[in-house]
Amino acid sequence: MAAGVPIKAPVAGISCGLITEGDRWMTMVDIQGLEDFFGDMDFKVAGTHEGITAIQMDLKIDGLTPEMVKEALEKTHRARDYILDEVMLKAIPEPRKELSKYAPKMLSTLIPVDKIREVIGSGGKVIQKICAECNVKVDVEEDGHVFVSGIDADNCQRAMTIIDTIVNDPEPGAIYNGKVTRIMDFGAFVEIAPGKEGLVHISRLDVKRTEKVTDVVNVGDEVMVKVLEIDDKGRLNLSRRDALIEVEGLTPENEISDSPRRPAPRRDDRRRDDRPREDRPRASNGFIANTNKPREPKD
Protein backbone atom coordinates (compact mmCIF):
# COMPACT_ATOMS: atom_id res chain seq x y z
CA MET A 1 0.00 0.00 0.00
CA ALA A 2 2.88 2.36 0.76
CA ALA A 3 4.26 1.67 -2.74
CA GLY A 4 0.88 2.46 -4.30
CA VAL A 5 0.11 -1.09 -5.40
CA PRO A 6 -3.68 -1.48 -5.72
CA ILE A 7 -5.07 -4.31 -3.57
CA LYS A 8 -8.55 -5.64 -2.87
CA ALA A 9 -8.08 -5.64 0.90
CA PRO A 10 -5.24 -5.36 3.44
CA VAL A 11 -3.89 -8.65 4.82
CA ALA A 12 -2.35 -9.34 8.24
CA GLY A 13 -0.88 -12.51 9.67
CA ILE A 14 -0.17 -14.00 13.09
CA SER A 15 1.34 -17.19 14.45
CA CYS A 16 -0.29 -19.40 17.11
CA GLY A 17 1.81 -21.77 19.18
CA LEU A 18 0.83 -25.01 21.00
CA ILE A 19 2.29 -26.59 24.11
CA THR A 20 1.18 -30.06 25.23
CA GLU A 21 1.85 -32.04 28.41
CA GLY A 22 0.08 -35.34 28.60
CA ASP A 23 -3.63 -34.73 28.03
CA ARG A 24 -3.27 -31.05 28.82
CA TRP A 25 -2.60 -28.47 26.12
CA MET A 26 -2.77 -24.72 25.53
CA THR A 27 -2.42 -22.36 22.56
CA MET A 28 -0.95 -18.88 22.58
CA VAL A 29 -0.25 -16.06 20.13
CA ASP A 30 2.57 -13.55 20.15
CA ILE A 31 5.04 -16.19 21.25
CA GLN A 32 8.74 -15.53 21.56
CA GLY A 33 11.69 -17.52 20.29
CA LEU A 34 12.16 -19.54 23.48
CA GLU A 35 8.50 -20.52 23.61
CA ASP A 36 8.54 -21.37 19.93
CA PHE A 37 11.55 -23.65 20.46
CA PHE A 38 9.84 -25.66 23.21
CA GLY A 39 6.40 -25.59 21.57
CA ASP A 40 4.75 -28.42 19.65
CA MET A 41 3.13 -26.37 16.87
CA ASP A 42 3.64 -23.19 14.90
CA PHE A 43 0.29 -22.42 13.28
CA LYS A 44 0.53 -19.37 10.95
CA VAL A 45 -2.66 -17.81 9.60
CA ALA A 46 -3.00 -14.75 7.34
CA GLY A 47 -6.15 -13.08 6.07
CA THR A 48 -8.38 -10.06 5.70
CA HIS A 49 -11.43 -9.01 7.70
CA GLU A 50 -13.45 -11.27 5.41
CA GLY A 51 -11.51 -14.52 5.60
CA ILE A 52 -8.29 -16.52 5.52
CA THR A 53 -5.86 -16.12 2.64
CA ALA A 54 -3.03 -18.46 3.71
CA ILE A 55 -2.19 -21.13 6.31
CA GLN A 56 1.17 -22.71 7.11
CA MET A 57 1.94 -25.05 10.00
CA ASP A 58 4.99 -26.68 11.56
CA LEU A 59 4.13 -29.62 13.81
CA LYS A 60 6.27 -31.64 16.22
CA ILE A 61 3.61 -34.03 17.51
CA ASP A 62 1.66 -36.85 15.86
CA GLY A 63 -1.52 -34.86 15.24
CA LEU A 64 -4.03 -32.21 16.31
CA THR A 65 -7.51 -32.55 17.73
CA PRO A 66 -10.42 -30.60 16.25
CA GLU A 67 -10.53 -28.53 19.45
CA MET A 68 -6.90 -27.47 19.00
CA VAL A 69 -7.50 -26.38 15.41
CA LYS A 70 -10.69 -24.50 16.30
CA GLU A 71 -9.05 -22.60 19.15
CA ALA A 72 -6.01 -21.77 17.01
CA LEU A 73 -8.22 -20.35 14.22
CA GLU A 74 -10.28 -18.30 16.69
CA LYS A 75 -7.21 -16.78 18.36
CA THR A 76 -5.47 -15.97 15.07
CA HIS A 77 -8.70 -14.38 13.79
CA ARG A 78 -8.93 -12.00 16.73
CA ALA A 79 -5.19 -11.30 16.53
CA ARG A 80 -5.11 -10.40 12.84
CA ASP A 81 -8.18 -8.16 13.23
CA TYR A 82 -6.35 -6.30 15.97
CA ILE A 83 -3.25 -5.92 13.78
CA LEU A 84 -5.34 -4.64 10.87
CA ASP A 85 -7.44 -2.14 12.84
CA GLU A 86 -5.01 -0.93 15.50
CA VAL A 87 -1.71 -1.06 13.65
CA MET A 88 -1.81 -1.26 9.86
CA LEU A 89 -4.88 0.81 8.94
CA LYS A 90 -3.96 3.50 11.45
CA ALA A 91 -0.59 3.83 9.76
CA ILE A 92 -1.93 3.81 6.16
CA PRO A 93 -5.68 3.39 5.54
CA GLU A 94 -5.50 2.69 1.80
CA PRO A 95 -2.99 2.29 -1.05
CA ARG A 96 -1.37 5.47 -2.27
CA LYS A 97 -2.91 6.85 -5.45
CA GLU A 98 0.28 6.69 -7.51
CA LEU A 99 2.69 3.82 -7.88
CA SER A 100 6.10 4.48 -6.38
CA LYS A 101 8.88 5.02 -8.88
CA TYR A 102 10.88 2.44 -6.92
CA ALA A 103 8.21 -0.26 -7.14
CA PRO A 104 8.85 -2.95 -9.79
CA LYS A 105 6.50 -2.87 -12.77
CA MET A 106 5.41 -5.60 -15.14
CA LEU A 107 3.66 -5.39 -18.50
CA SER A 108 2.44 -8.32 -20.53
CA THR A 109 1.23 -9.01 -24.03
CA LEU A 110 0.39 -11.96 -26.24
CA ILE A 111 2.17 -12.40 -29.58
CA PRO A 112 1.66 -14.99 -32.33
CA VAL A 113 3.70 -18.12 -31.70
CA ASP A 114 5.33 -17.87 -35.14
CA LYS A 115 6.71 -14.43 -34.18
CA ILE A 116 8.54 -15.66 -31.07
CA ARG A 117 11.67 -16.37 -33.12
CA GLU A 118 11.79 -12.78 -34.36
CA VAL A 119 11.48 -11.36 -30.83
CA ILE A 120 14.23 -13.61 -29.47
CA GLY A 121 16.51 -13.33 -32.50
CA SER A 122 19.42 -15.49 -33.58
CA GLY A 123 21.24 -16.64 -30.47
CA GLY A 124 19.03 -14.36 -28.39
CA LYS A 125 20.59 -11.21 -29.87
CA VAL A 126 17.32 -9.31 -30.31
CA ILE A 127 15.91 -9.95 -26.85
CA GLN A 128 19.29 -9.24 -25.24
CA LYS A 129 19.48 -5.94 -27.10
CA ILE A 130 16.00 -4.96 -25.88
CA CYS A 131 16.94 -5.81 -22.27
CA ALA A 132 20.20 -3.87 -22.46
CA GLU A 133 18.80 -0.75 -24.13
CA CYS A 134 15.64 -0.53 -22.01
CA ASN A 135 17.12 -1.85 -18.73
CA VAL A 136 14.33 -4.40 -18.34
CA LYS A 137 13.85 -8.14 -18.16
CA VAL A 138 11.88 -9.89 -20.91
CA ASP A 139 10.41 -13.37 -20.54
CA VAL A 140 8.81 -15.13 -23.52
CA GLU A 141 6.72 -18.25 -22.98
CA GLU A 142 6.02 -20.97 -25.52
CA ASP A 143 2.36 -19.97 -25.90
CA GLY A 144 3.32 -16.42 -26.95
CA HIS A 145 2.89 -14.63 -23.63
CA VAL A 146 5.56 -11.96 -23.17
CA PHE A 147 6.32 -10.37 -19.80
CA VAL A 148 8.40 -7.20 -19.47
CA SER A 149 9.50 -6.24 -15.95
CA GLY A 150 11.57 -3.36 -14.63
CA ILE A 151 11.65 -0.43 -12.24
CA ASP A 152 11.04 2.42 -14.68
CA ALA A 153 7.58 2.39 -16.27
CA ASP A 154 8.73 4.33 -19.34
CA ASN A 155 11.48 1.80 -20.03
CA CYS A 156 8.98 -1.05 -19.73
CA GLN A 157 6.62 0.65 -22.14
CA ARG A 158 9.46 1.35 -24.56
CA ALA A 159 10.42 -2.34 -24.57
CA MET A 160 6.78 -3.27 -25.20
CA THR A 161 6.66 -0.82 -28.11
CA ILE A 162 9.79 -2.37 -29.63
CA ILE A 163 8.31 -5.85 -29.31
CA ASP A 164 5.05 -4.68 -30.85
CA THR A 165 6.98 -3.10 -33.73
CA ILE A 166 8.84 -6.36 -34.35
CA VAL A 167 5.64 -8.40 -34.33
CA ASN A 168 3.46 -5.93 -36.23
CA ASP A 169 4.69 -3.92 -39.21
CA PRO A 170 4.79 -0.14 -38.62
CA GLU A 171 1.84 1.81 -39.97
CA PRO A 172 1.87 5.29 -41.50
CA GLY A 173 1.09 7.86 -38.83
CA ALA A 174 2.63 5.87 -35.96
CA ILE A 175 5.27 7.56 -33.81
CA TYR A 176 8.31 5.74 -32.42
CA ASN A 177 11.46 6.41 -30.45
CA GLY A 178 14.43 5.22 -32.46
CA LYS A 179 18.20 5.41 -32.63
CA VAL A 180 20.29 6.98 -35.38
CA THR A 181 22.38 4.26 -37.01
CA ARG A 182 23.85 5.95 -40.10
CA ILE A 183 24.46 9.48 -41.35
CA MET A 184 24.34 10.46 -45.02
CA ASP A 185 24.51 13.83 -46.78
CA PHE A 186 20.84 13.51 -47.68
CA GLY A 187 19.53 12.36 -44.27
CA ALA A 188 19.83 9.97 -41.34
CA PHE A 189 18.82 6.34 -40.97
CA VAL A 190 16.90 5.59 -37.77
CA GLU A 191 16.23 2.14 -36.31
CA ILE A 192 12.84 2.02 -34.58
CA ALA A 193 13.14 -1.69 -33.73
CA PRO A 194 15.65 -4.45 -34.39
CA GLY A 195 15.60 -4.98 -38.15
CA LYS A 196 13.20 -2.06 -38.73
CA GLU A 197 15.14 0.93 -40.10
CA GLY A 198 14.00 3.95 -42.08
CA LEU A 199 15.28 7.17 -43.61
CA VAL A 200 14.70 10.66 -42.25
CA HIS A 201 15.38 13.02 -45.15
CA ILE A 202 17.42 16.10 -44.28
CA SER A 203 14.41 18.29 -45.02
CA ARG A 204 12.43 16.48 -42.31
CA LEU A 205 15.02 16.44 -39.55
CA ASP A 206 13.88 19.65 -37.87
CA VAL A 207 11.16 22.29 -37.84
CA LYS A 208 13.60 24.67 -39.52
CA ARG A 209 15.87 24.45 -42.54
CA THR A 210 18.79 22.09 -42.00
CA GLU A 211 22.06 22.70 -43.80
CA LYS A 212 23.93 19.63 -42.52
CA VAL A 213 22.53 16.43 -41.04
CA THR A 214 25.09 16.51 -38.22
CA ASP A 215 23.77 19.93 -37.16
CA VAL A 216 20.72 18.08 -35.81
CA VAL A 217 21.61 14.43 -35.12
CA ASN A 218 24.60 12.13 -34.84
CA VAL A 219 25.03 8.37 -34.82
CA GLY A 220 23.75 6.92 -31.56
CA ASP A 221 21.26 9.72 -30.82
CA GLU A 222 17.78 8.70 -29.72
CA VAL A 223 15.13 10.56 -31.67
CA MET A 224 11.37 10.55 -32.00
CA VAL A 225 10.12 9.92 -35.52
CA LYS A 226 6.82 9.56 -37.34
CA VAL A 227 6.20 7.02 -40.09
CA LEU A 228 5.17 8.94 -43.19
CA GLU A 229 4.89 6.09 -45.66
CA ILE A 230 6.06 2.60 -46.54
CA ASP A 231 7.02 2.21 -50.18
CA ASP A 232 6.35 -0.81 -52.39
CA LYS A 233 9.72 -2.29 -51.37
CA GLY A 234 8.88 -2.08 -47.68
CA ARG A 235 11.23 0.84 -46.97
CA LEU A 236 10.22 3.27 -44.23
CA ASN A 237 10.03 6.99 -44.85
CA LEU A 238 10.34 8.71 -41.46
CA SER A 239 10.09 12.29 -40.22
CA ARG A 240 11.45 13.80 -37.03
CA ARG A 241 9.95 17.16 -38.03
CA ASP A 242 6.38 15.81 -38.11
CA ALA A 243 6.86 14.02 -34.77
CA LEU A 244 8.04 17.26 -33.11
CA ILE A 245 5.09 19.17 -34.52
CA GLU A 246 2.52 16.54 -33.50
CA VAL A 247 3.85 15.49 -30.08
CA GLU A 248 5.66 18.56 -28.76
CA GLY A 249 3.55 21.16 -30.55
CA LEU A 250 6.50 22.93 -32.19
CA THR A 251 5.79 25.44 -34.94
CA PRO A 252 7.57 24.91 -38.28
CA GLU A 253 9.79 27.79 -39.36
CA ASN A 254 9.91 26.85 -43.03
CA GLU A 255 7.81 25.05 -45.61
CA ILE A 256 8.58 21.77 -47.35
CA SER A 257 7.50 21.21 -50.95
CA ASP A 258 6.82 17.62 -51.88
CA SER A 259 6.46 18.47 -55.60
CA PRO A 260 9.33 17.39 -57.88
CA ARG A 261 11.83 20.03 -58.84
CA ARG A 262 11.90 21.32 -62.42
CA PRO A 263 14.93 20.16 -64.37
CA ALA A 264 17.57 22.84 -64.73
CA PRO A 265 18.01 24.21 -68.29
CA ARG A 266 20.95 22.96 -70.33
CA ARG A 267 23.87 25.30 -69.97
CA ASP A 268 24.58 25.20 -73.70
CA ASP A 269 21.01 26.20 -74.68
CA ARG A 270 22.04 29.85 -74.75
CA ARG A 271 24.92 29.10 -77.15
CA ARG A 272 23.07 26.83 -79.59
CA ASP A 273 23.44 27.83 -83.23
CA ASP A 274 19.98 27.65 -84.82
CA ARG A 275 21.16 28.71 -88.31
CA PRO A 276 20.76 26.20 -91.19
CA ARG A 277 23.73 23.90 -91.65
CA GLU A 278 24.70 25.42 -94.98
CA ASP A 279 24.78 28.94 -93.52
CA ARG A 280 27.13 28.09 -90.64
CA PRO A 281 30.73 29.31 -91.00
CA ARG A 282 33.32 26.75 -92.11
CA ALA A 283 36.87 26.27 -90.99
CA SER A 284 39.76 26.48 -93.42
CA ASN A 285 39.75 22.66 -93.80
CA GLY A 286 36.15 22.65 -94.98
CA PHE A 287 34.50 21.32 -91.80
CA ILE A 288 31.67 23.22 -90.11
CA ALA A 289 33.04 25.31 -87.29
CA ASN A 290 31.86 24.54 -83.75
CA THR A 291 30.08 27.77 -82.96
CA ASN A 292 28.86 26.42 -79.61
CA LYS A 293 32.40 26.28 -78.23
CA PRO A 294 33.39 29.50 -76.50
CA ARG A 295 36.20 31.33 -78.30
CA GLU A 296 39.61 31.78 -76.73
CA PRO A 297 40.28 35.36 -75.70
CA LYS A 298 42.73 37.21 -77.89
CA ASP A 299 45.77 38.95 -76.52
Q: Break the chain into its structural domains and give their ranges.
A: 12-91, 105-167, 175-247
Q: Does the pLDDT of residue 237 top 90, yes or no?
A: yes
Model confidence pLDDT, tens digit, residues 113-129? 999 999 999 999 999 99
Predicted confidence band at 35 (pLDDT cuts at 50, 70, 90)?
low
The pLDDT score that the predictor gives to residue 294 is 53
CB atoms within 10 A of CB 250: 14
For 2, residues 6+ apart whose C-beta sits below 8 A from its C-beta are 92, 96, 100
**What's the rounded Cα separation, in Å, for the pair 266 and 291?**
16
Digit-coded pLDDT (tens) for 158-182: 999 899 988 887 889 989 888 999 9
**104 Cβ partners below 8 Å, 6+ apart?**
149, 150, 151
Q: Which CATH superfamily is domain 175-247 in?
A: Nucleic acid-binding proteins (2.40.50.140)
Query: Cα–Cα–Cα angle for 183, 185, 190, nearest 5°?
Result: 30
Which tens digits make up the pLDDT trace of 219-230?
A: 999 999 999 998
Residue type, position 234, single letter: G
Q: How far apart are CA 206 and CA 77, in angstroms?
A: 66
What integer pLDDT is reported at residue 177 of this predicted model?
Answer: 87
pLDDT at 200 over 50: yes
12-91 fold = Ribosomal Protein S5; domain 2 (3.30.230)
Asked if CATH classification 3.30.1370.10 holds for the domain at 105-167, the reply, yes or no, is: yes
Rounded to the nearest integer, the mean pLDDT of the chain is 85
